[in-house]
Structure formats: C-alpha cells, structure tokens
Structure 1
Amino acid sequence: MPKLIIHRDTEKIGGSVVELISNNGTRILIDAGLPLLEDDGSMLDFNKYKSKSVKELIDLGIIPYVDGLYKDFDKDIVSKNKSDIDGILISHAHRDHYGLIQYIKEDLKYYLTEATHKLIDITTLFSDSKIEIDNYQHINSGQPFTIKDFKITPNFMDHSGFDSQAFLIEADGKNLVYSGDFRGHGRKNSLEYFFRNLPEKIDGLIMEGSNIGNENKTEKPEARLEAEIEKVLAEPGLVLFTASGQNIDRIISFYRAARKTERIFLIDFYTASILDIIKDYAEIPYPSSKFSDVKVYYPEFLTDKVFNMNQEELAYKFSDYKMGKEEIVAKRNKILMLVRNSTVHDLNKISDLDKDIFKNISFIYSRWPEYLEKGKFKNLQNFIDENNMKFHKIYTSGHADIKTSAKVVDELKPAKLFPIHTLNPEEYNQFNADVKKLENGEVYEL
C-alpha cells in the first residue's frame, strides 16, 4: 500500500473521498461523498448545482478530480493512472460519504453493508437524487474480504448513522485504518470491540475530527438526552420535535421518553420507512401491533412524491397505523410529533382545524446546530416564532469529542496520523502521534 491520496475533506467537514493504490496498481476508494459546506463556510445547497456537468463541478471545486471515476466525463483529459478503480468502500449512509455516486461510472463495484445499501435506496426514493447501486458486494463487520491486492476488514463504529463501519486495510506489508465517522457516547460501546480487532502495529490512521477544535466540549451520552426529553414531555400539551430519521439512537431516545410519559410517538411515513428497514438489523420501535404507541402521519409533499413515482405500496404499508389531522387535534395532549422543514404546510393545515393547537407549546430541536445557525430550517424556525413556542435544544453530536479522539490515538499508536473530515487539521498536533496533514489530492508514499 505505497500510495495514499485524500482527494477531499482534509480541511472541511463532509465530502470524503480517499484513494489507496497498491504496488501492483490496484486502486480502491473509501467513501464518495458530496460536501456539506461552501468554501465560505455556508451550507451547500446542491440544488443550484444539479444542472452542472462533472467538469463544471470539478472546476467549481464541488467534487474532486479522480481519474477513471466519473461517467460522461471529458475524454480529452490526460489519464494520470493506467488502471480503473477496482472497488469503492462506503462507510455509512450519510450523503457526505456516498452522494458522489450519482456521477460515478455504473460498472464500478461498491462494498457496503446491506443495511447501508437499503438506507441509501430509501433515501434516494424520497429525494431528488439519482443514485443506484447495482454492482455491489455486501460486507459484514468483522469479516475480512479482498479486492485484488487489498485485504479489508470492516469494524462497526458507533455513529449517528446506522451501521457505520471503520476499515482496516492491508496490502504490500503495510496497514492503514480509516476511522469513518465515530463517537464514544452513543448507546453502543463499539470502541472496545474496535480496539480488540486491530493489529498491535498500525502504520497509518486516517481519523475524522469533526469536533476537533472544540477542546472544552464533552459530548453528552444519549441516555442523558433521553432524561432531558422526558422532562419536557412531562409538561402538558402537544410537543413537536425535529431529528434525523436515520439517527436511530436519537429516535430511540425520543421514543423511550414518549413511552415513559405515556405519549403517542407520531412520525412521518419517511421515518416509518426507515424504521421498517432497520428493524431487521436491530431491536427498535416501528409501526406495528407490537408497538401500538407508534403512529404515522402522511405529509402531503412526501405522499404526492411517492404516488408520482408509482410507489403506492410503500405509502399504504403503514395505513393501519395512520393518524389523521382530526385525530391529532383530538389527542394533542398525548402526542410527541416528529416534524421537519417540509411539513410546515401540513402543520398549517392542522392549525386550520384549531388555530391554537401550536400556540405556546414546546418544540425540541435535535439536529446538527450548524443547520439551525445557517438557516437550513428557516420555514420551521418561522413557524416556531409565529406560534411563540418554547424552544428546547436537546442534542449530542454524532462525532467523537476530543477526549474520545485522543483515546483512539493512544490505543492505536499509529506511525502516522492523517487528519480528515475536520475544520481544524492543525489541532491534531495535540495528539501523541506523528501527524501528517495532506493537501487535497496530494500523493503520499506510505
């Protein structure tokens, strides 16, 4: 494994693309993500770039140039490498780790867990992206597989994205660990398992550092969030919250708090679809007779979208657990309801039935604070303000705090530490390791 190239994400959060090239020329990529932020630090709205060609996106710096990766690309560009890419590893189902797939050649092969594959498929169905993974091999945590010269062992990591994987990669007498996104304060203590399944000598560690730079911040465990949510739910009246439907730990925290306070857990049918997938891989609540306190509502925007795509079967799947607007009004005092920016239209229709239903109630925000600060939830924020809601921010990061990052470095003792997925690569020098900060696209000989 003589060559490492971090094509993107050495000094930003989001858009990971890492390449490894063996002595014999075998090439693999680890993740293929779209960026989260513009160069000025603002949230990237990819909709304004959707009509751009691959060449234009490369010229704008939105996606990196990687030889042999893209379909419909300018054939006049001189090839830097002789061989095509032999495999693409996907660590988890967050768009900043897989969103580039829509531009990638169809014949390239992906290696990802079955749950990650299904989550990407369902997210694609509900969004406007054009992502299809037809050439693939499903992988399992702890079970090694090979891609020509490379031996790769996935390792489960706790993260806000379900079934996230780190990778131990071995070739040419060298090894490298790619941490993927991880943390140590979720509901699953994966780090000790991770440490036990690695060799004593680590030649290189590519470690994400989303929270590096927040030196005084210690992330709260998910169990503490559950207690904070429960305290809000003890107050009378309807309670609204927003959280990612794919953040299963967070969904469980809200559900458990709702159950303890004897509230109905009301989710939109996108989130219901996510839980219906995850139930095959983990013990979680989902719409069913087994969890009679989980109900589903159908936002007009999502419902119309699914019907327009001839996916009626998906829409009807949860009809036995449907809660309509009139029932929401009638049972308002016993409901915890998941909402999102796109459901404000539906909330306004509910308020047409009772203009005071959302007045002075509690709202819980449980997403990345940057989204709020950079205006991604403007419609929802306006709705909260107009109804004078009591705003609660109950959140913990899907990424490791500085103490957990330091623990990983101390345990692995890598010969080289490579920053990735971070705004503060220079802060890696505080760790007990030889840090090599690569530039995007730089070729490094291991």
Structure 2
Amino acid sequence: MQIRIHRGTQEIGGTCIELEAAGKRLLLDLGLPLDGDVEDDGIHPKIEGLAGSPDLLALILSHGHVDHWGLAHLAGPNIPVALGAATHRILQAAAPFVPRPYLPAQPVEFTGGTPLTFGPFTVTPNLVDHSAYDAYALEVEAGGCRLFYSGDVRAHGRKAALFERMVAHPPRNIDVLLLEGSTFGRLNAEHRFPTEHDVEAQFVDIFQRTEGMALVAASAQNIDRMVSLYRACKRTGRTLIIDLYAAEVLRATGNANIPQSDWPNMAVYVPQYQRVRIKQSGRFDLLEPHKPQRIFGEDLKARAATSAFLFRPAMLPDLDRAECLTGARAVWSQWDGYLKQPRGEALCAELEKRQIPLEHAHTSGHAAISDLQRLAKAVGPKMLVPIHTFEAHRFPDFFDNVTVRRDGEWWSARTQSESSLAS
C-alpha cells in the first residue's frame, strides 16, 4: 500500500489522505483548511482524476466536521462517498440552513465495526469519542498492509468508554498509525481536559448565578454539548430554548437518548433569519415536527429568568425586540480562539454594549497528549506518522517509531527495514 497525505502533516484541518494498492486508489477525508476559502483553487489538493476516474474507488469521511469534508464537493458525482449513517442524516438536516450545504451524490452509509470493501481495500470504521457526533477512526487493509487512521479522537467526552475500549482492544498488526496531534503546541504533556460532565457542572453554576436569560453560544452539532446543556437546564429548573436548525440536527441523530424538542424542559424558537429562509425555500414542512413546542418572540421576556437560550450572534436583533436581556449572561461554549477572530471580536463588542457579561464553559474535542500516548502504546504500530498537527516535530519526544512525512509525498506502508527485506 502506498500513502500520500495531501494536507495534515503541517497543519490542523483540511485533512486529506490518498491510498494506492493494486492500481486502485482510495481517499480518506477531503477537508477544508481552517482558514480556507472553498473558491480558492490554490488549496484544492492535487489528486489525479478527482472529478472522476475509474481507479479512484471511493472517498471515506471520518466524521462531520468541515475540516474533514469541506472540499468533498470536488469529488465527481460518480465517486461513492462513504460516511456514518448518522453523519449523513445530520448533513441532510443542516442543508436547508447553511450557506454551502454538502450532500454526496452517491452516499454509502456505514456503522461502526462493519467492514466496507472497495476493490483491494477493506475499510473498517471504529466509532470514537469526539465532539462531532458519529465520528470514526478508520482501519484500512490492502496489499498485505494494515493502516489505522485515528481521525479526530478524545477520551474525555460522553463517549469516553469508546476510547477505553479501543485501548483495551486495539487493532492488531498495524503497519502505519496516522495519529492526530491537535493538542500539541496548545498544552503541556501533563495537562488534562475537563470532561463533559465538568462542563455540565460549569453550566449549572453559571445558570444558578444568572438572574435573567443564559445565552449559550455552542455548536448544535456538538451533540455531547447539547446533552450537557440540557442536563444542566433540568438540574436548575430552566427550559432549553433551541432554534429550528438545532431541533432538526438533534432529530437527525436518530438516538432516543439524545434530547429532542418534545422532551420536558425544551422549547423551539424560530429566529427571524430562519423564518425568512423557510419562506424563501418553501420548507414549511420543517416546522411540523416541532409545532407543539414552538414559542414566539412575545414569549421570551416572561421566560427569560427560567431559560437557557442556544445562541448565535444573528439572533441578537430578535432578543433586543423581545426586550428579554435584562439580567442576561452569555456563555461561550466553543474554542476560545474564535473570539479572537473578527466575528468573535464583534460579538464581544455587542455583548459589552448591552452590558451582558461573558463566561466560558468548554472542553476540547481532541485527546490530551497522555491519552494519545496510551492509544499509540496499545496499537503498537511499526510506523507512527503525525497528522492533523502543527507540531509534528515534537512527536518523537512522546512516541516510538515516529516517521515525520511531508504533504504531497508518496511513501510505502512498509517500514524501511521491511522494504529492504522485500527487495
């Protein structure tokens, strides 16, 4: 098996891996760089026959974050795109609400533990703990070689048991481990992240100290966070108010254990910009499943002191008109780096103008270095290659059998000693 990492050996985001065996090829992820523009041809990976080629058999998506699928539209309509079944449903649910929706023309849905076969490649997805729902590590076998791609993984979310299970029962006889290293350069090796249960406790504390409405800025697709937020609302007697987009994403999980709009302590508010979009698209059917739980602008003021509102900056005009921000407190529940970007700075200015204090309650979607070490030790690969990291040069200080690769170079899944024996 030959391997080429198009992007990821020197940066976080925009991940794309090309594999070749027996004259056939396979892609693992096709992401948009974190600061990339989809219209910029200069960031498009140079993959021969990406728009359509008989030897390019499929694109496999590890999970539903844009930095792993944001350039998938470049793959031709005849190329099968394999992705988790729930990931596919969430992309479908998000499509009416986002400016650049993506839905594969030839989707192949998978679930954890069920192998897929594409020509000489056998791909086994392994469900992992990550801030994206339905995320997978990918085990690929071809040409007598075995590769394990971690995707994005962590050990401190609500599905932490999946990580512990993988460490206890790792894939065997792995020639190459492509291991993500998002946390390198962001924290020291001894650092431990808060768990999602810790984030829930932070929400409880903040809600108890908030006289008015709690405005929580969090991603609706971070399902673990939605669970933490809902549980904190129940514990403090608040109602979680979500928008139509979030309600549809939660419904798309298909998981009876995930909060839904018709659960107690839940309500749905459709902001003005979503009402306009629904009217323009004629998608009034999206409202039907949530009608019994729907509330309106005139309801917000009376509910403010007993509510947590899943918040986006575009909703501020609605909240101003509703006059429901007296005693409000905002909670940033995403990566704090976004607040240093222009839109984040603008939000902070808007909150300050309204005298709304801002607090933080968040944890990483990526594994601590010590957890990555546990995973690597359990897998015991013949070669460990850093990916999804700005700090590949630091890996030899923490792992065995590290080989640092460069974007765009082809290399063999066999170790150098094995290659010498074979020749």
TM-score (norm 1): 0.88
| Identical pairs, percent | 31
TM-superposed CA distance for 1:413, in Å, is 1.3
- 2:204 corresponds to 1:206: no
TM-superposed CA distance for 1:179, in Å, is 0.4
Q: Contact between 2:167 and 2:374, CA under 8 Å: does it hold in 1?
A: no
Q: Secondary structure at the match of 2:71?
A: helix
Residue-by-residue CA offset, 1:274-308 (whole Å, 9 max, x unaligned): 11111x235111111xx131001011112211321
Residue identity in the other structure for 2:45: P
TM-superposed CA distance for 1:103, in Å, is 2.2
Q: Which residue of 2 aligns with 1:287?
A: 261
Unaligned runs of 5+ in 2: 414-423
Residue identity in the other structure for 1:225: V
- 2:387 corresponds to 1:420: yes
Q: Which residue of 1 aligns with 2:49?
A: 68
Q: Secondary structure at the match of 1:68?
A: coil
Q: Which residue of 2 aligns with 1:76?
A: none
TM-superposed CA distance for 1:342, in Å, is 2.1
Residue identity in the other structure for 1:248: I
Residue identity in the other structure for 1:419: P
Q: Secondary structure at the match of 1:234?
A: helix
Q: Contact between 1:156 and 1:194, CA under 8 Å: does it hold in 2?
A: no
Aligned pair count reads 409
TM-superposed CA distance for 1:122, in Å, is 2.1
Residue identity in the other structure for 2:121: F
TM-superposed CA distance for 1:317, in Å, is 3.0
Q: Secondary structure at the match of 2:258?
A: coil
Residue identity in the other structure for 2:78: D
Unaligned runs of 5+ in 1: 38-43, 51-56, 72-81, 352-356
**Greater Cα offset, 364-373 or 378-387:** 378-387
Which one of the candidate residues 17, 28, 32 is aligned to 1:30?
Answer: 28
Q: Secondary structure at the match of 1:146?
A: strand
TM-superposed CA distance for 1:208, in Å, is 1.0
- 2:162 corresponds to 1:190: yes
Q: Which residue of 1 aligns with 2:370?
A: 403
Q: Which residue of 2 aligns with 1:323?
A: 295
Partners of 1:18 and 1:303 lie apart in 2 by: 40
Residue identity in the other structure for 1:34: L
Q: Secondary structure at the match of 1:363?
A: strand
Which one of the candidate residues 274, 286, 299 is aligned to 1:314?
Answer: 286
TM-superposed CA distance for 1:228, in Å, is 1.1
Q: Which residue of 2 aligns with 1:13?
A: 12
Partners of 1:244 and 1:311 lie apart in 2 by: 23
TM-superposed CA distance for 1:65, in Å, is 1.1
TM-superposed CA distance for 1:197, in Å, is 5.0
C-alpha change, 1:227 and 1:130, in structure 2 (3 Å) is closer
- 2:141 corresponds to 1:176: no
Residue identity in the other structure for 1:424: E
TM-superposed CA distance for 1:101, in Å, is 2.0
Which one of the candidate residues 132, 136, 152 is aligned to 1:161?
Answer: 132
Matches within 5 A, 1:111-150: 111-150=82-121
Which one of the candidate residues 217, 221, 235 is aligned to 2:195?
Answer: 221
Q: Contact between 1:359 and 1:388, CA under 8 Å: does it hold in 2?
A: no
Residue identity in the other structure for 2:75: I
Partners of 2:97 and 2:309 lie apart in 1 by: 20
Q: Contact between 2:267 and 2:295, CA under 8 Å: does it hold in 1?
A: yes
TM-superposed CA distance for 1:328, in Å, is 0.9
Q: Which residue of 2 aligns with 1:433?
A: 400
TM-superposed CA distance for 1:348, in Å, is 2.4
Q: Secondary structure at the match of 1:193?
A: helix
Residue identity in the other structure for 1:158: D
Q: Which residue of 2 aligns with 1:300?
A: 272
Partners of 2:246 and 2:125 lie apart in 1 by: 27
Residue-by-residue CA offset, 1:312-336 (whole Å, 9 max, x unaligned): 1013431211111121101211011
TM-superposed CA distance for 1:130, in Å, is 4.7
Q: Contact between 1:102 and 1:130, CA under 8 Å: does it hold in 2?
A: no
TM-superposed CA distance for 1:382, in Å, is 2.3
Partners of 2:49 and 2:111 lie apart in 1 by: 27
Q: Contact between 2:170 and 2:378, CA under 8 Å: does it hold in 1?
A: no
Partners of 1:255 and 1:118 lie apart in 2 by: 22
